[in-house]
A = this chain, B = another copy of it.
Amino acid sequence: MTPTERRILDATRACCERWGIAKVTVDDVAAEAGVSRATLYRMFPGGKDVLFDAMRVRELEDFFTQLGEHLDGADDLEELLVRTVVHATRALRADSHLAAMLASEPGDTLSELTVQGLPRIVRMATLFIVPEVEAHLDREAASRLVDLLARLVISYFLAPSPYVDLGDAGSARRFIGLHILPTFQPDPSTTGARQ
């Protein structure tokens, strides 16, 4: 990724934060990035759609990169999963950009977190998290596990439950120990015995 591309994506993000996707024009982004429209179209052929898509991809990459950094030192599977969902949930809650988008354009943003965007999110989560999980499960199981957890994190983020708070380590640990680990870890000798 060239510095110019990065500048443009940063500008896109800034514009979206300020005005919401619906109000942002290509000229806005170009001006914010200090770049001509021609350059922008050269770097992102396809224009607006491609540009905003690239922005979303980069946001996901950033999100999971940051998430990955919080996973070091998690030895057993339970600890790994707990850290993952807790940090992911807290990061989502702390994301002011996301909050602004949800407030100003609920429809588009929700779509990006569910119907339209969820496959992409799951794919990215798989890419980043499955390697960590594979230390404890085979690839197939790891993929299914990450798929499931990603959906759960998003669901509990969008609509909090009185029973589970995935932003709280204790609650997340109980939840994972009770509903997740037993189904993915047929051998009960390690952590399945909990609860």
Residues of A within 8 A of B (CB): 18-20, 23, 104
Q: How many copies does the complex hold?
A: 2
A–B Cβ pairs within 8 angstroms, 6 of them? A18-B20, A18-B104, A19-B19, A19-B20, A19-B23, A23-B23
Q: How far is the CB of A14 from chain B (nearest CB, A)?
A: 11
- Chain B residues whose C-beta falls within 8 Å of the C-beta of A18 in the assembled complex: 20, 104
- Chain B residues whose C-beta falls within 8 Å of the C-beta of A19 in the assembled complex: 19-20, 23
Separation of A4 and B154 alpha carbons in the complex (Å): 40
| Top 6 A-B residue pairs of the complex, sorted by shortest distance between their CB atoms | A23-B23, A19-B23, A19-B19, A18-B104, A19-B20, A18-B20
Q: How far is the CB of A173 from chain B (nearest CB, A)?
A: 40
- Chain B residues whose C-beta falls within 8 Å of the C-beta of A23 in the assembled complex: 19, 23
Q: How far is the CB of A20 from chain B (nearest CB, A)?
A: 7
Q: How far is the CB of A125 from chain B (nearest CB, A)?
A: 32
Q: How far is the CB of A31 from chain B (nearest CB, A)?
A: 12
- Chain B residues whose C-beta falls within 8 Å of the C-beta of A104 in the assembled complex: 18
Separation of A104 and B18 alpha carbons in the complex (Å): 8
Considering the complex, give the chain B residue whose CB is closest to the CB of A24.
B23
Q: How far is the CB of A24 from chain B (nearest CB, A)?
A: 9
